[in-house]
A and B are shown apart, each in its own frame.
Chain A
Amino acid sequence: MFSASDLKKGLKVLVDDYPWIITDFEFCKPGKGTALYRCKMKNLITGSTMDRTFRPVDKIDKPDLEERETIFLYVDNDFFVFSDSDTYEEIHVSKDVIGDNAYFLIENSESKILMFNGAPIDVTLPTFIEKVIKETEPGTRGDTATNVTKPAKIDNGYEIQVPLFINEGDTVRIDTRTGAYADRVSKA
């Protein structure tokens, strides 16, 4: 159990049977009144957000969360199969949980899986992954501007916006947190 005074930004709590992360926190104490701990929280399963205010007497449950280091193995129908790096136990993660991360999973690469009550609820990939551009309009030689972009597709069909100087066959780095182009690694 947490006390209200333990609450802070980044803390993970169990509220209404869901695990939440506190994304914003403020200590308030309106004119001679009770202390209030005002939290903005994000649901770790659904991604929805809510505001919740606690008083000093409130107790808040701890969620049963565990982060596991894994290696991505392969796709099996609707499931993505990972292997626990310590125990080699296979972990099956559904398509829904993976979401857009599916485009950025690379076989035998590392990722972290967040487990809630023993079930996977979130996958965190390495911040940057490298992909080869499979399809884009020809680049403009010498145009090094990065603020003008054009669409491009990577091997699995995922579309990103890239600067004009990027060509088919170039290898680029993608930020998996945003799904956006970061920089060019090498030219074709």
Chain B
Amino acid sequence: MTPVPEHMPTVFPKPEHLCNLAELQARLALRAGLFSHIRAVFEENGFMAVETPLVINAPAPEEFIEAPRCGERFLRCSPELEMKRLLCAGFERIYQIGACFRAGEHGRRHREEFTMLEWYECGADYWQLLRFTSMMLREAALRMFGSPTINFQGMTIDLKVDPQIITVDDAYRQFAGISSAEALERDIFDEIMSSKIEPQLGLGRLTFLMDYPASRASLARLKKDDSTVAERWELYIGGLEIANAYSELTDGVVQRQRFAAEATARAASGMNVYPEPVEFFESLEYGMPDCAGCALGMDRLAMVFTNAEDISQVTMN
């Protein structure tokens, strides 16, 4: 039998290193508080908590996201298609906090397994989602710290002031001296985003990066008055990408076209082509209501709320 240690341990073993136990305990306690405050805000606003399957038949095809295999099936990269099936079935305000998986993503801000908050609201568009998200984060800070400000990596982030709102194209012009169209044309869109733009976003307050080029629409609907951009935003805090939201595409025909285009792109880069999401397409036949949805990385939000520089400081792996 292993002898009982004389002293409480001061370190906690992790896959690649030992971490300081007291620090981890403090951060995990704050993380738990953050989660319960966020859940409370959803409950108070009439959202219903749902749980959709982790193991799925057919992930949404995306050119740069790889679902880990799970036997003959897949671990979900996001709960998006399953939650949208619930919207088609008449649920109007739903949210979920749960694990998602992305093969090969590992770094200071990435884990292959991470925790996602995802929610949908019928009748809303991405502007309403922007206001709700700002309110939710302000509430979380107030309830946790009694103050609408958080200290993150040497910065004070004020959640009470109006967020910065900047379009993708303006951000490319302002921070990189190039239009977003030209960056796409020269195939340096992601490199510029990562090296020149992201570090400038969310400094001192929230930044919503709005209106992505149509080729980066994913499942967002295009703007009615400007079909070159999609009604999509990403939220940044302290240079960290936190959330991604759309006014959702509801047109079943366009949806199928986007999936086909992504599947073709995946095949062209030698990635496996997923089975067709049959049940999702069937649900769309019944009609998807006008809605907006957002996916938010809870581990990263926990990093911001606990002033952590590495995602490993707020997780067990």
Interface positions of A (Cβ within 8 A of B): 5, 26-36, 38, 53, 56-57
In the complex, the answer to whether B106 meets A28 with C-beta atoms within 8 Å is no
Q: Which of A30, A56, A57 has the most CB of B within 10 A?
A: A30
Q: Report the bound CA distance from A27 to B244 in whole Å.
A: 19
Name the one of A5, A26, A30, A36 contacting B108, with C-beta atoms under 8 angstroms.
A26
Per CB-CB distance, the 10 closest pairs between chain A and chain B, nearest first, are A27-B107, A33-B190, A30-B193, A28-B194, A30-B194, A31-B234, A34-B64, A34-B190, A30-B190, A36-B194
Q: Report the bound CA distance from A86 to B113 in whole Å.
A: 48
In the complex, the answer to whether B110 meets A27 with C-beta atoms within 8 Å is yes
A38-B105 contact given A32-B218, A57-B269, CB 8 Å threshold? no
Q: B131 at interface (Cβ–Cβ under 8 A)? A: no
Q: Report the bound CA distance from A27 to B105 in whole Å.
A: 8
Q: Report the bound CA distance from A104 to B157 in whole Å.
A: 50
In the complex, the answer to whether B107 meets A28 with C-beta atoms within 8 Å is yes
20 extra interchain contacts, Cβ-Cβ under 8 A, other than A31-B234, A33-B194? A26-B107, A27-B106, A27-B107, A27-B108, A28-B194, A29-B105, A30-B190, A30-B198, A31-B216, A32-B62, A32-B64, A32-B65, A32-B216, A32-B218, A32-B244, A33-B189, A34-B63, A34-B64, A35-B104, A53-B194
In the complex, the answer to whether B195 meets A31 with C-beta atoms within 8 Å is no
In the complex, the answer to whether B194 meets A38 with C-beta atoms within 8 Å is yes
Q: B185 at interface (Cβ–Cβ under 8 A)? A: no
> Within 8 Å CB of B169, what residues of A?
none
> Within 8 Å CB of B218, what residues of A?
32
What is the number of residues of chain B that contact chain A, defined by CB distance less than 8 Å? Answer: 26
> Within 8 Å CB of B109, what residues of A?
27-28
Q: Which of B107, B218, B241 has the most CB of A within 10 A?
A: B107
- CB within 8 Å: A-B pair count: 55
Q: Which of A5, A31, A36 has the most CB of B within 10 A?
A: A31
Distance in Å: Cβ of A58 to nearest Cβ of chain B: 12
Q: B44 at interface (Cβ–Cβ under 8 A)? A: no
Q: Report the bound CA distance from A2 to B259 in whole Å.
A: 32
Interface residues of B: mostly helix, strand, loop or mixed? Answer: mixed
Nearest A residue to B188, CB-CB? A53
Q: Which of A35, A56, A57 has the most CB of B within 10 A?
A: A35
Q: Report the bound CA distance from A5 to B216 in whole Å.
A: 24
Q: B191 at interface (Cβ–Cβ under 8 A)? A: yes
* Per-residue A-contact encoding for B276-291, CB less than 8 Å = 1, 0 else: 0000000000000000
> Within 8 Å CB of A33, what residues of B?
64, 189-190, 193-194, 216
> Within 8 Å CB of A31, what residues of B?
193, 209, 212, 216, 234, 241, 244
> Within 8 Å CB of A53, what residues of B?
191, 194-195
* Per-residue A-contact encoding for B74-111, CB less than 8 Å = 1, 0 else: 00000000000000000000000000000011111110
Q: Report the bound CA distance from A20 to B105 in whole Å.
A: 24
Distance in Å: Cβ of B23 to nearest Cβ of chain A: 22
In the complex, the answer to whether B108 meets A35 with C-beta atoms within 8 Å is no
> Within 8 Å CB of A34, what residues of B?
63-64, 190
> Within 8 Å CB of B110, what residues of A?
27, 29
> Within 8 Å CB of B194, what residues of A?
28, 30, 33, 36, 38, 53
Q: Report the bound CA distance from A28 to B194 in whole Å.
A: 7
In the complex, the answer to whether B104 meets A30 with C-beta atoms within 8 Å is no
Q: Report the bound CA distance from A162 to B189 in whole Å.
A: 53
Nearest B residue to A32, CB-CB? B218
Q: Report the bound CA distance from A136 to B48 in whole Å.
A: 78
> Within 8 Å CB of B105, what residues of A?
27, 29, 35
Q: Report the bound CA distance from A5 to B107 in whole Å.
A: 11
Distance in Å: Cβ of B270 to nearest Cβ of chain A: 8
Distance in Å: Cβ of A100 to nearest Cβ of chain B: 34
Q: Which of B193, B194, B209 has the most CB of A within 10 A?
A: B194
